[in-house]
Amino acid sequence: MIEVENALKDSISKKVKEICGEDVGDIQLEEPPSMELGDYSTNISFRLARVLKKPPKVIAEELCRKLKEENIPYIRDVKAVKGYINFFLDYNSYARGGISRILEEGENFGRGRDRGKKVILEHTSANPNGPLHIGHGRNAIIGDSLKRILEFIGYDVETHYYVNDMGRQEAVVVFGLERFEIEKDKKPDHAIGEIYIKANKLLEEDPQLEEEIGRIMREYERSLENGEDSPIVERFQWAVNYALEGIRETLSNLNIKHDTFVWESEYVRKGMVREVIKRLMETGKVVEEDGVYKLDLSDFGIEKKLVLTRADGTTLYSTRDIAYHLDKMSRCDIGIDILGADHKLTAQMVEASLKLLKSKTPKVIFYEFISLPEGSMSTRRGRFVTLDEVLEEAERRAIQEVKKRGVADEEEIKEIARKIALGAVRYNIVRISPEKPIVFKWEEALDFEKVGCPVIQYAHARCCRILEHAREMRIEDGELFNYHMMDQEKILIKTLLKFPRILEIAGESLKPHILANYMLDVAHKFNSFYGNCPILREKNKSIILSRLKIVESTKIVIENGLKLLGIECPGKM
């Protein structure tokens, strides 16, 4: 609970000032390794040792004496141990205060005040030349989770899918569509993907055709710049929209919806790319080399020069990307991009260019690749595992599991299995911190035992069942938390009350995996509580009532938390 922490910090800060006469800045509160040692601790004495020229142990004891005189809310005792100062909560009042807050706030528990800040978060942005694979999934899932978290803690968030319709790869699709029949009964993104693979194979066999790709790209760009709605423009639009239709469906199955799809070509059509090039030319940082103009970014520690346009005058991805970012950053307070680690250099160059143009720059979250045991994925070679097949397989296995348990009837099973599958897939990706490379293995991705989201959903289902039974029992109101509480309930309550702080940390540091790991922690703490503290079997009415409130609070935290990870709770499983 933030109130407790702030009160503690204030008291410590005040006493430190009395001892050494000066402000030592922000006090850090930690949690001791075990409950016997206390609930909160500070290592301030170690930091003061040098200033005061006294051993930490002596300082801790002195501070401890002074802190004991203070009346800090919810704190019943202070102890000095081996240089640390440890604080002990009065769990009865802490539980009463904390639990009633969770229950009052309900689905708003953890929600932050409106910050009056507009965020544009760009994620997924996969090229529309095939279905999304699990690598794209990592991008989409991190992005969508982050959007939900930021929104919940008080930001106004708009998500962008930057549609890359101008690259070589899309020209290859258009080229392929001229030569191969598209399979109309296939899911559109998969059908486009096959065309793309076939076209690439053809290009490999007959490199002469490469000329044709260049011609298509030039023609498309010229048409756009002239503002024409020529056949080539229509062909590109058709191909892109067709693939996007399938991509949208996959995203929707993952509970992901973008607010805006921004087409790269729009920046060419509106002349904004030319404008950017012109403005970059005026910075005085442009040199001519091998017949093309290049931007020298050595002032930013980047050795590689940025090519502004091709020798044939057509634009490049990077310049279009700068135009997009210039526009985007002017429309928000904070811009966030989710990018694969392979984009690090490009992102640096975009950032440097934006600085040259006096623009704000985006915050970028980089994630490492998901590879297959046999090597890295490749859309071009058709070597990838699609999100569609992962979701489908997960659902198939979930149906089997749910049937085995026999807790739901035929109609419910499908819906329950869908939620479990979605949770398993999203959770297994979002729980890993993004800078960690992942090797995709089917057994790991779809393991419903123990690790992962089903455990959390299961804990939630248990809550639901208990509350259901409790309603039938019609337990009357009474005094709460007036008994000697078990460790498991103390630990659970403390964990539940960390939720708002966790969201703050996960949101501000742009790390959704922190929330994911916390959710598993809540489930474990709940299971331990459930296994050790009788609820409905308890004789004492006040204890039953109090524990039911804990169950209800757990249900709220799990629902709120999983919702922010884009995961639903089946309620029974």
Residues of this chain, 513-572, that bind RNA according to CB under 7 A: 513-514, 517, 520, 524, 527-528, 530-537, 571-572
Q: Looking at beta carbons only, is 466 or 480 nearer to RNA?
A: 466
DSSP code per residue over 409-434: -HHHHHHHHHHHHHHHHHHHHHTS-T
CA dist 23 to 8, 17, 321, Å?
Answer: 16, 6, 47
Q: Looking at beta carbons only, is 183 or 204 nearer to RNA?
A: 204
Rounded to a whole number of angstroms, the minimum distance from the CB of residue 2 to RNA is 17
Residues 313-352 that bind RNA (CB under 7 A): 316-318, 341-346
| Position among 176, 454, 500, 507 found at the interface with RNA (CB under 7 A) | 454
How many whole angstroms from its chain centre is CA 51? Answer: 42
Backbone angle region of 571, left / alpha / beta, with phi > 0 → left and psi within -120 to 50 → alpha: left
Question: Which residue's structure tokens are 């160059």?
Answer: 349
User: Residue 30, interface with RNA (CB under 7 A)?
Assistant: yes
User: Residue 118, interface with RNA (CB under 7 A)?
Assistant: no
Q: CB of 160 within 8 A of CB of 119?
A: no
| Position among 444, 471, 478, 482 found at the interface with RNA (CB under 7 A) | 444
Q: What x-and-dash track marks residues 272-311 binding RNA by CB under 7 A?
A: ------------------xxx----------xx--x--xx
The enclosing H or E element of 294 equals: strand 292-295
Q: Looking at beta carbons only, is 104 or 467 nearer to RNA?
A: 467
Question: Which residue's structure tokens are 């959704």?
Answer: 512
| Position among 70, 266, 327, 401 found at the interface with RNA (CB under 7 A) | 401
User: Residue 451, interface with RNA (CB under 7 A)?
Assistant: yes
DSSP code per residue over 70-110: S--TTEEEEEEETTEEEEEE-HHHHHHHHHHHHHHHGGGTT
Give the residue from 87, 65, 63, 62 showing the smallest Cα distance to 76: 87
Give the residue from 232, 229, 226, 236 showing the smallest Cα distance to 274: 226
CA dist 448 to 133, 398, 423, 429, 444, Å?
Answer: 21, 8, 10, 14, 9
Residues 51-90 that bind RNA (CB under 7 A): 56, 81-82, 84, 86
Rounded to a whole number of angstroms, the minimum distance from the CB of residue 85 to RNA is 8
Q: Which tokens sit at 294?
A: 């290049």
Rounded to a whole number of angstroms, the minimum distance from the CB of residue 152 to RNA is 20
Rounded to a whole number of angstroms, the minimum distance from the CB of residue 98 to RNA is 21
Q: Looking at beta carbons only, is 1 or 306 nearer to RNA?
A: 306
Q: CB of 549 within 8 A of CB of 480?
A: yes
DSSP code per residue over 211-268: HHHHHHHHHHHHHHHTT---HHHHHHHHHHHHHHHHHHHHHHHTT---SEEEEHHHHH
Length of the chain: 573
Backbone angle region of 439, left / alpha / beta, with phi > 0 → left and psi within -120 to 50 → alpha: beta
Rounded to a whole number of angstroms, the minimum distance from the CB of residue 335 to RNA is 19
| Position among 199, 239, 432, 515 found at the interface with RNA (CB under 7 A) | 432
Q: CB of 451 within 8 A of CB of 516?
A: no
CA-based angle 444:518:525, to the nearest 5? 95
Rounded to a whole number of angstroms, the minimum distance from the CB of residue 233 to RNA is 17
| Position among 211, 449, 476, 477 found at the interface with RNA (CB under 7 A) | 449
- Interface size with RNA, residues (CB under 7 A): 96
DSSP 111: P
Rounded to a whole number of angstroms, the minimum distance from the CB of residue 476 to RNA is 17
Rounded to a whole number of angstroms, the minimum distance from the CB of residue 57 to RNA is 11
For 91-217, list the strands marked E by DSSP: 118-122, 156-163
Residues 402-431 that bind RNA (CB under 7 A): 402, 405, 407, 420, 431
Region from 31-39, 112-120, 249-257, 496-504 binding RNA, contact rule CB under 7 A: 31-39
Q: What x-and-dash track marks residues 220-259 binding RNA by CB under 7 A?
A: ----------------------------------------
Rounded to a whole number of angstroms, the minimum distance from the CB of residue 184 to RNA is 27
DSSP 12: H
Residues 349-368 that bind RNA (CB under 7 A): 368
Q: Looking at beta carbons only, is 142 or 398 nearer to RNA?
A: 398
Residues 194-213 that bind RNA (CB under 7 A): none
